[in-house]
Structure 1
Amino acid sequence: LHSTSHHTLDYTAREDRAKGTESLLKHYIAVFDPTSGDLKVIEARKMVVRGLVRSRKAGDAEFAGLTERENRTEARDALGQAFGTKKAKRAIDSKKENAIDQGRSQDGTPRKLGAADLALMDSIKDSTANMATRDELQAVLDQARPVPKGNYQAEDVEDVYNPREIIGTEVLNAIPIFDWQEKTKKGEPIEVVSRFVANRVSRVAAGENASLRLKILRYYLWLIIFYNSARMGKERGTKSIAQRDKLREQMTPAPEVVIENIRRKFSDNGVMRKLHMDLLFTHCCVFASIIDSFDVDTYDIKEDLKLEQKQINQYFQETGARTRQSKKGDTTIHFAKLSIPLIFPRLRAHRQR
C-alpha cells in the first residue's frame, strides 16, 4: 500500500511475513453492523508502515525575505546535515541552538528583540567589557617575550639594547680581557670553542670601543660554554647544567660573580627549561648584533648553538631584527639586521571558517 496524501511525507505499508512456526499464526477481527445485524470475520494481516520525507524543490516563497548570505548559510548547513560528519553536524546544531533568532515581521522587516533577548545582550556586553583588545594582548605578549631588557622606544638602534643593563655593570667590569688583548697584539691565535668568537676576536680587539666589545664577546663565549656543557634533563625538554667545579674549569678564567650571574639568569635549581634556553639564545643574538654592528651573518652563531636556520631566524626576529638571505655563487648567506623601527612577531589571527 502507498499513500501520498500527506503534504511532506510518503507512507508505504508492506505485509510483514512471519517466519518459522509463526507463519501459521493468523489474526482475525470481527466487524458487526448494528443496522443489519450482520457479523463479518476478516483476516487482519500484520503490516509494517514506513514514512519517508518527500524530496522536493524549495519554492521561492520559502526564501522570501532572506539575504543572499542567509541563503548560502542555509544551503551550507543543509549540506552539512545531509553529508557531514558527526562532528560537523554537532557544530551546526550547536550554532543553531546558541543563535539569537531575531525573527521577522509579516512585512519582512526584522522583528524587535524582546526583553529577555535585550537582557541577554546586556549581560554579554557587561561580561566582555573588560576583555583585552588585540593591541593589549600584543603588548602583554611583547612584555613576556624571553628577550633581554631593551629600550624599545629608542630612536637609534645603538640605544635599544644596552649591554651594561643586560649583563650588569658589576659583572661586566669583572670580565677579564687582558689575555686576549696581549695575544692579539702579538698576533698569536686565540683558540676558543665558538666559531663566532674565533672569527671576530682579532677584528674586535683592533676596532673602536675594543674593551667593552671584547667583554661582550667573552660573555657570549661563556654563554655558549654554559649551554653546551649542559646535558639532557630528567624532564622532557629540559637540560641539567654542569656542576660548579666543572663550570669553573670549562669557563676559566671566568670570575665567580660571572659564573653565578649566568647560573641564576639561565637556570633554576640546576635545571634549564625552555624559557631559560630561549632567553639564552636571544641574549646571544643581541650580543652578536652588537658585535657585528647590528647586521649579522647568522651562520657562526647557528653553529655555536647547534640550531637549524629556521630556529635561529626566529630567535633574531624575537629581538626585533629582520632576516634576509643573499646568494654568493652557489652559497646562500643568511643575515639578521636590527634597525629602527623594530619589528616583533605578531599574534596570529585564526582564519575564520
Structure 2
Amino acid sequence: MSSSSSSSSYIKVSSYTDEPVAAVGSFFNGLSIPSSTEFDIYKNKKTNNYILHGETDHLEYNGDSVTNQDLNDYVVAMYDPNTKSVELFKAPYFQTKVTSKQYKVYKGPSVRSTGVKNVTQRNALGEAFGTKKAKQAITNLEKNRIDADKLQDMEMDIIDSVQESITASNNSGSNMGSTSKNSTGPQADDFSNSPIPKPNVDATNVEYIYPIKSIIPAKDWNYIRVQSILTDSDPISHFPSSPEFIKQQLPTIIDQGNLEKLQILYYTSLLFAIYENRRVSSKDQLMTKLNNTPSEALIDTILQNFTIARTSKFGKSKDRSFTIDPHNEDKLLCYLIILILHLSNFSVALNPLARDLKLKPTKLVALFRAVGAIIKSATVGEAEALGIPKSSVGTYKIAHLKVPFKMPELTRRRGGGGARR
C-alpha cells in the first residue's frame, strides 16, 4: 500500500468554465485545414445547441452539435505544471462536413415544389370534372410545355451554327466576331490548372494535336504488358473494364496484330475502370476492385496524375488514401476522351459512349467541346454505317477532332478551366 501511495499523483481542478471557449470537431481522415482558417460558433438560445462554421476561399466547414448522439460531454483541460492543477473548459462536439463552394448546390425554397404540386392537382381535377373547354385548355398547355432536355440539345445546335457562321465570316474577310489572340486566346500557362493537356494548336496532323505519348506517360508503356492478349481465347478477360467501346475495338486491333494500339486500348480500359471506381478512397481497395491485375506501378502513376493524396502518417504506400475531386474527375474524363478519339480515328459517336460512362449526352458534349472537338448531327452515311434509325438521325451526335485546330470559344471564356457539369 505504501509503495502504491508513494507513486500516486494528484491533480487539482483549479477552475471550470461552462461557456465554450473551445470546440471538438470530427472531420474525415486525412483532412488538412489551413491554419489561417477562422471558425465561428453560434448558440441556439432555446435549445442550447451549437452550430460551427468556417470557410476558406474554396471550402466551407459546417458542424452541428445536435449530431452528437452519445450524450457525452467533452472538456478541454489546460494543465499548469507549476501548481499541478488544470483549468477545465466545456467544449461542444461537432460532427462536421466539408463542402466545395464551387460545386455547392443551392436549394430553392420549398414553396416552389408546393406550387408544382398544386398545378398538378388542379389539372387532374380539371380533366376529371371540368368542361370541354377547360379540358381543351389543359391539353393545349401540356402540348406547349417546354422540354428542358430538348432545349439543351437545341442550345448546343444553336451554338454550333453560330460558331460555324463566325468561322465562315472570318475566312471571307469579315470583321464580325473577330478576336485578338492576345485578348482571348489561351496563354501557355492557362493549362497549368486545366483538366485538359496543352494542345498543339499548330499541328498539321490530327494525331499531333494531343500526341499519344503526352497522354500516356513514357515510363508507363513498360508496365502495359499485352502480348499474351493477342493469343488468348478470351482476350477481354485481361482488361480492367469491358464497356461496349472496348469490346467493339478489341477484335479489329487483335486482327491487325497492332501491339501499340492494344496497349492504348488497355490503358483506356484502365481509365474507364478508375472512373467507374472513382468513389474508392484507397489504393488497396482500388487494387482489390481491379482484381490486382494491373501493374501496381501503373496504378501509382495514374493516382499521382488524377487524384489528390490524403495525408496520413500511418500505413504503407499500398494503403495510402486519396480522393478524386470534381476537377480531377473532369481531368480523368478529358484524358479518357482523347484516348477514345485516337482509337476511333478521331470520330466518335456520343450516344453509346454516354451509356458506357453513364453520363447525360449534353454533359459528354461539353467535355468533348472542352478538348476542342466539333459536334455535329450524324449524316445519312454515318447513320447507315452505325445502324442508326432514320427517326433518330437528328438527335444522334458525332464528335470530330480536326486540323486546323482551334480552341473552342466556350473554353476560352472559361480560361481553360474545363467543362462544367
TM-score (norm 1): 0.53
2:207 alignment partner, one of 143, 158, 170: 158
Residue 337 of structure 1: which of 376, 397, 400 is its match?
Answer: 400
Contact 1:175/1:219, CA 8 A, preserved across alignment: yes
Runs (5+) with no aligned partner, structure 2: 1-179, 310-321, 415-421
Q: Which residue of 2 aligns with 1:59?
A: none
List, as ranges, runs of 4+ consecutive aligned residues in structure 1 with deviation greater than 4 Å.
none
5 Å-filtered alignment, 1:90-101, equals none
Alpha carbons of structure 1 residues 249 and 334: separation in structure 2 relative to 1, 3 Å: same
User: 2:300 maps to what in 1?
Assistant: 260
Tell whether 2:233 aligns with 1:168. Answer: no
Equivalent residue for 2:185?
138
Give the number of the structure whose alpha-carbon radius of gyration is greater.
Answer: 1
Q: Contact 1:195 / 1:303 at 8 angstroms: preserved in 2? A: no
2:269 corresponds, among 221, 228, 233, to 221
Aligned to 2:81: none
Q: 1:215 to 1:311 in 2, by over 3 A?
A: same
SS in structure 2 at match of 1:265: helix
C-alpha contact 2:184 2:413 (8 A) present in aligned 1: no
Task: Give deviations 1:240-289, integer Å, cap 9, x for gaps.
Answer: x3422222233342111110111111110211112101111111110001
**Conserved? CA contact 2:281–2:323, under 8 Å:** no
Q: How does 1:202-221 map to 2 (within 5 A)?
A: 202-207=251-256, 210-221=258-269
Partner amino acid, structure 2, of 1:225 = A
Quote the Cα distance in structure 1 between the aligned partners of 2:343 and 2:354.
Answer: 15
Q: Quote the Cα distance in structure 1 between the aligned partners of 2:284 and 2:246.
A: 24
Give percent identity, aligned residues only: 22
Cα distance in structure 2, aligned partners of 1:303 and 1:142? 32
SS in 1 for 2:220: helix
State the shift of 1:189 in Å: 5.8
| CA displacement at 1:291 relative to structure 2 | 0.3
Which protein, 1 or 2, shows the higher relative CO under an 8 Å CA cutoff with sep ≥ 6?
Answer: 2
Note closer, same or farther for the CA distance 1:179–1:249 as it changes in structure 2 (3 Å cut). farther
Whether the 8 Å contact between 1:176 and 1:215 is mirrored in structure 2 is yes
**Compared CA separation, residues 257 and 154, structure 1 to 2 (3 A):** same
Distance in 2 between residues matched to 1:207 and 1:337, nearest whole Å: 24
CA shift for structure 1 position 142: 5.3
Cα separation, 2, equivalents of 1:281 and 1:172 = 20
Aligned counterpart, 1:277: 329
Aligned residues: CA RMSD? 2.4
Within 5 Å, which residues of 2 pair with 1:240-251?
A: 241-251=280-290
State the 1:348 CA deviation.
5.0
Q: For residues 6-26 of structure 1, what are the alpha-carbon distances to aligned partners after superposition, in whole Å with 9 as ceiling and x for unaligned?
A: xxxxxxxxxxxxxxxxxxxxx
Partner residue, 1:61 = none
Match of 1:190 among 216, 236, 240: 236
Aligned length: 204
For 1:217, give the aligned amino acid.
Answer: L
1:314 equivalent in alignment to 2:375: no
Q: TM-score, normalised by structure 2?
A: 0.45
In 2, the alpha carbon distance for the partners of 1:276 and 1:242 equals 14
Matches within 5 A, 1:13-162: 135-140=182-187, 143=191, 144-162=193-211
| 8 A Cα contact 1:195 1:304, kept in partner | yes
What is the alpha-carbon distance in structure 2 between the residues aligned to residue 152 and residue 207 of structure 1? 31
Closer, same or farther in 2 for the Cα pair 1:308/1:271, shift >3 Å? Answer: same
Task: Give 3-state SS (helix, strand or coil) of 1:147's partner.
Answer: coil
Gaps spanning 5+ residues in structure 1: where? 1-132, 232-240
2:198 and 2:413 mapped to 1: Cα distance?
24
Describe the superposition over 1:142-175 as per-residue Cα deviations: whole angstroms up to 9, x where unpaired.
5353212432221111112222222111102211
Q: Distance in 1 between matches of 2:190 and 2:401?
A: 17
Secondary structure in 2 matching 1:336: strand
Q: Structure 1 counterpart of 2:199, which letter?
A: G
Mapped to 2, the partners of 1:306 and 1:146 lie a distance apart of 20
What amino acid is aligned across from residue 220 of structure 2 in structure 1?
Answer: V
